[in-house]
Structure 1
Amino acid sequence: MELTYNEKRLLAVLKPLKDAEEARSKAVEPIRETLKGIGDGRSARINPLKDTLKVLEETRNIAFLPIKKAIELLENTTEGTLGPMHTPDAAYLARIMDSTEEAVVQYANLLQDRGLAIVEKKSVVTYRLTEEGEEYRKSGLPERNLIDSFDTEIPMGELQKHPQSRLGIGWLRKKGWVDIKDGIVTKKGEAAEGVDESALKNPVPSQPGIQDLLKRKLAEEIESVSYIISITPKGENLVESGLDLRQEVMTLTSEQIRTGEWKNLRLRKYSTKTPKRVYAGKNHPYQQLIDDMRQILFEMGFTEMNGGIVESSFWNFDVLFQPQDHPAREMQDTFFLDLEEELPAGYEKIRDMHISGGDTTSTGWGGEWKEKKAMQCVLRTHTTSLSIQYLKDHPEPPVKAFCIGRVYRREAIDATHTPEFEQLEGIVMDKDVNLRHLMGFLKEFYQKMGFENVRFRPGYFPYTEPSIEPEVWVDGLGWVELGGSGIFREEVTAPWGIKYPVLAWGLGASRVAMLKMGLKDLRQLYRSDVDWVRNEPIARSRRY
């Protein structure tokens, strides 16, 4: 049986460790029976190891240094902290072998495949409070502080002045601690300590509220994994039968060559066979294309914006002047979640914009605008919600920002549709920018992506006016539409005090990928097709 040097070395270490443990057990057995204690267990371990060490040194055995270090650890470590040595863990073996835990596990798995060792994986799950969780452990959850801040009832406007109202009011309602009617918040009785508050004080696995803390990102799960390694009888027999445990020599000195000493050395074997084809590591072709888009926009002077995939309907639909009865807001088109988010300060301007047009020249949509519907959370259907929030926080020009993020829509999966895909969103806000600037930005971007011929045609989108659709020429396909664009309507920008034109555009990154890579099926981008990833070209030419 041909073993590698490292496999032999691990076997050579496991055998004397097991022998030492068995010797210890025999030595302490009489003491256990009479004194019910183990008084000299450490020396019972050390003595057989020291005897073994002498033999290892004399034979220049590859286990000499690890066993020497094991003795040092035993002499300097409290008895019992190292565990039974006949089944040491990978961390201990890595320490005495001057290796890494990962390498030891790798060698042990190879031995296990040959039936020479056993590898047992053990995992322990613990929980730790996040920074926010630690803060709440000291000061209390937001809903607890809110419920303790008033006696029996309080106007909603007053309660919203509390610094923790944004997070706490929703949880007051969710836990059923209050009733809210006609703008008055009334306690429903005694608010007993919840399981989440108990878990906050003592975040251990047995606490029923620990899952609530995980969902609120107030705690995090930590899994500690260890590997216990033991030698099998077959492995012991192999070591005892004369396994060559001399150190391998990888390089020869001039002295060894001159004196002929090399003839008595155990030289490391090298294979001269032609190796199998080696594939270099690389990014997924789709990720590479997305990175390419990102780099182009950086070169054009844009800043990247980011945000979460869960948005309230307020940010996903209402701020974009999309009426609450719009078909896109129906259950069959959007992933609605069993969550609600409090409306931000100043939401009344959006409400008024929908009902009557607010302070603008618009007449709005008329009808009724429901706060409850605006609070409903969804998986974002586009990244335009990030653009509006970015403009709200940066109302003064100049602004040039973009986002490449995943969006979600309830669509049947086929060759050209998936329920989740990547969207590129861009905005430019400055004094006196107009439609010609928008077409210039888009033309430059698409040409840098390799589409030399770009044209535009009129389009319609509910939150831009005027609106245009860019098209690019693709050999074999002709003119292909790639996204939508326009200038944000005043109903979108006016509520946030934005006084200058905002150019906006969006496109499906996966659609660009299909054209660039010549794909017929969109699903190819998301499959674990290793052969395709290996053979797809690493880089594509860009026109600058």
Structure 2
Amino acid sequence: MELTLNEKRLLVALGPVGSADAATLADLMDTRREAVVQYANLAGERGLVDVEKHVSRRYTLTGEGRGYAGKGLPERQVLESFENEIPMRDLQAHPLAKIAIGWMRKKGWVVVRNGVVQKTGNAAPGPDEAAFARASENGAITDGEGVADLLRRGLVQEEEAVTYTVSITPGGRELLAGGLDLQEEVGTLTRDQILSGAWKDLPLRRYDVGKLPKRAYPGKTHPYQRLLDEMRRVLLDMGFTEIAGGIVQSSFWNFDALFQPQDHPAREMQDTFFLGERWPLPAGYERVRDMHEYGGETSSTGWGGTWNAAKAEQCVLRTHTTSLSIQYLAEHPKPPVKAFCIGRVYRREATDPTHLAEFEQLEGVVMDDEVNFRHLLGFLKEFYRKMGFEKVRFRPGYFPYTEPSVEPEVYVDGLGWVELGGAGIFRQEVTAPFGIEHPVLAWGLGISRVAMLRLGLRDLRHLYRSDVEWIRDTPTYGRRR
């Protein structure tokens, strides 16, 4: 049996005593405790030693807890500061009142009537006070009833201690009795040893290349953020410019500029977060107003009725990033334009595994001479292909501000065809008020749904949880082609 020098030294150290803790063996072997545990695990895999892990917990007072030591918990101190009753405003002057009043009421020690705090006469010490009283001068508390309550209140902290006991087995003693060669091993070769061939006669340290190393947890980007960065990189490589804007938008840019009628269901309270702020309308808003009322200078008949400026001024949490796209186009009405935005949007949705009230959306627009519907499908197909979806198809859809419109779908093994967004060509009613004379291809894609498919998730909420184990276990992969 081929043993490393350190395994042999461990057996020699265990020979006279038979069993010892890792700290004692570290002193005998003149090494670190962690190194002894490593050697013992190697020898344990060969059946030469047994390794027992012991975990113990101790509890000590936190800084806040030490401040109450010898005086009692805050609620006890405040309770003893007055007689049978006291006006609430006077009691609130006590420095511990903010902490204590709630606890006194929760424990049933006091009641509040007409602004006066009255004792109930039932203030026997509970388990938490009994545990707190067990604290020694150095702040240590023995485990028992009440300690968990102090932990929850942040008055006590838990410390975990791990020790190891290593014992030699009959197999180890048998090997030790046969004698062990403790000749120093060579773990690093010099240039001269290699050139001269002297390495052939050296006692080389043996390594098991098939053995997995200890798992490391380096810092890494969150899987969802990594996917957002990947999408951003794909679009930048395709020649797009990234744009951004505020999450608060006026209804004018969020709805009216996109030719959504002012009585559209999406503008109702159940779908939109309306805010109390109001923003003034931009210069030239009259062209949008005219488009809504009678179609402006186009062949459209508009929506009819009377357009309400006050309704357009009301601010909302943006329901889509298309509000940023139309503002960018209004500022850049001449081609060529290739822009995208990745941003969070907000809608009044009931939270469940596939819906959230806030989520990310990817928005893109392309304006140029003679671009058409086929170009739109090509952009989308290329984007999804670069994101790892080989099978892409499109089915007709409807959106208030694009015509024609489609909904792209990708094929996922085990799920079939999955719809991932909406796209189309901006209607003339959207572009004409801003002097845009060329066709505009536009799309909005649900990023979170793409993330669920790529990461193999069944619950959308998992993307936003602080699940350290999931982050550690999710592999870091490069961009899919």
Partner of 1:460: 398
Partner of 2:283: 345
Cα distance in structure 2, aligned partners of 1:457 and 1:417: 23
> Is residue 295 from structure 1 mapped to residue 233 from structure 2 by the alignment?
yes
Q: C-alpha offsets along residues 244-263 of structure 1, whole Å, 9 cap, x if unaligned? A: xxxxxxxxxxxxxxxxxxxx
Counterpart selection for 1:404 from 342, 358, 362: 342
Partner of 1:506: 444
Partner of 1:450: 388
Residue correspondence of structure 1 range 505-544 to structure 2 within 5 A: 505-543=443-481
Contiguous gaps of at least 5 residues in structure 2? 1-59, 68-136, 139-211
Partner of 1:355: 293
Residue correspondence of structure 1 range 391-430 to structure 2 within 5 A: 391-430=329-368
Cα distance in structure 1, aligned partners of 2:239 and 2:215: 42
Cα distance in structure 2, aligned partners of 1:457 and 1:114: 62
Structure 2: which amino acid aligns with 1:516?
Answer: R
Q: C-alpha offsets along residues 202-245 of structure 1, whole Å, 9 cap, x if unaligned? A: xxxxxxxxxxxxxxxxxxxxxxxxxxxxxxx98xxxxxxxxxxx
Q: For residues 541 and 345 of structure 1, do their structure 2 counterparts lie closer, same or farther at Cα, with a shift above 3 Å needed?
A: closer
> Is residue 441 from structure 1 mapped to residue 379 from structure 2 by the alignment?
yes
SS at match of 1:362: coil
Deviation at 1:459, TM superposition (A): 1.1
Partner of 2:308: 370
> Is residue 479 from structure 1 mapped to residue 412 from structure 2 by the alignment?
no
Structure 2: which amino acid aligns with 1:325?
Answer: D
Cα distance in structure 2, aligned partners of 1:410 and 1:455: 30
Cα distance in structure 2, aligned partners of 1:346 and 1:450: 44
SS at match of 2:397: strand
Deviation at 1:541, TM superposition (A): 5.0
Counterpart selection for 1:320 from 247, 254, 258: 258
Counterpart contact for 2:334–2:436, Cα < 8 Å: yes
Structure 2: which amino acid aligns with 1:385?
Answer: S
Partner of 2:46: none
Structure 2: which amino acid aligns with 1:368?
Answer: T
Partner of 1:309: 247
SS at match of 1:345: coil
Q: C-alpha offsets along residues 136-160 of structure 1, whole Å, 9 cap, x if unaligned? A: xxxxxxxxxxxxxxxxxxxxxxxxx
SS at match of 1:291: helix
Q: For residues 351 and 279 of structure 1, do their structure 2 counterparts lie closer, same or farther at Cα, with a shift above 3 Å needed?
A: same
Q: Which moved more, 1:275-284 or 1:338-347?
A: 275-284
Q: C-alpha offsets along residues 46-72 of structure 1, whole Å, 9 cap, x if unaligned? A: xxxxxxxxxxxxxxxxxxxxxxxxxxx
Structure 2: which amino acid aligns with 1:316?
Answer: N
Structure 2: which amino acid aligns with 1:417?
Answer: H
Cα distance in structure 2, aligned partners of 1:386 and 1:294: 17
Q: C-alpha offsets along residues 428-461 of structure 1, whole Å, 9 cap, x if unaligned? A: 0000000000011001000000000111111111
SS at match of 2:471: helix
Deviation at 1:293, TM superposition (A): 0.2
Cα distance in structure 2, aligned partners of 1:275 and 1:431: 58
Q: C-alpha offsets along residues 87-140 of structure 1, whole Å, 9 cap, x if unaligned? A: xxxxxxxxxxxxxxxxxxxxxxxxx9899xx99xxxxxxxxxxxxxxxxxxxxx
Residue correspondence of structure 1 range 62-211 to structure 2 within 5 A: none
Structure 2: which amino acid aligns with 1:345?
Answer: A
How much identity, in percent, do the aligned residues show? 74
Structure 2: which amino acid aligns with 1:525?
Answer: L
Partner of 2:161: none
Deviation at 1:468, TM superposition (A): 1.1
Partner of 2:328: 390
TM-score in terms of structure 1 length: 0.50
Q: C-alpha offsets along residues 333-385 of structure 1, whole Å, 9 cap, x if unaligned? A: 10000110000110011100000000011000001111110000000000000
Partner of 2:75: none
SS at match of 2:424: strand
Contiguous gaps of at least 5 residues in structure 1? 1-111, 120-232, 235-273
Structure 2: which amino acid aligns with 1:475?
Answer: D
SS at match of 1:402: strand
| Runs of 4+ deviating beyond 6 Å | 112-115
Residue correspondence of structure 1 range 4-83 to structure 2 within 5 A: none
Counterpart contact for 2:421–2:444, Cα < 8 Å: yes
Cα distance in structure 1, aligned partners of 2:214 and 2:351: 38
Give the number of equivalent residue pairs: 279
Name the one with the larger helix percent: 1
Structure 2: which amino acid aligns with 1:529?
Answer: D
Cα distance in structure 1, aligned partners of 2:435 and 2:294: 18
Partner of 1:270: none
Structure 1: which amino acid aligns with 2:328?
Answer: Y
Deviation at 1:537, TM superposition (A): 1.1
Cα distance in structure 2, aligned partners of 1:352 and 1:337: 26
Deviation at 1:278, TM superposition (A): 2.9
SS at match of 2:371: coil
Cα distance in structure 2, aligned partners of 1:482 and 1:275: 41
Cα distance in structure 2, aligned partners of 1:113 and 1:300: 59
Counterpart contact for 2:230–2:479, Cα < 8 Å: no
Q: For residues 497 and 114 of structure 1, do their structure 2 counterparts lie closer, same or farther at Cα, with a shift above 3 Å needed?
A: closer
Structure 1: which amino acid aligns with 2:394?
Answer: F
Query: Which gives a bigger RCO, structure 1 or 2 (Cα 8 Å, sep 6+)?
Result: 2
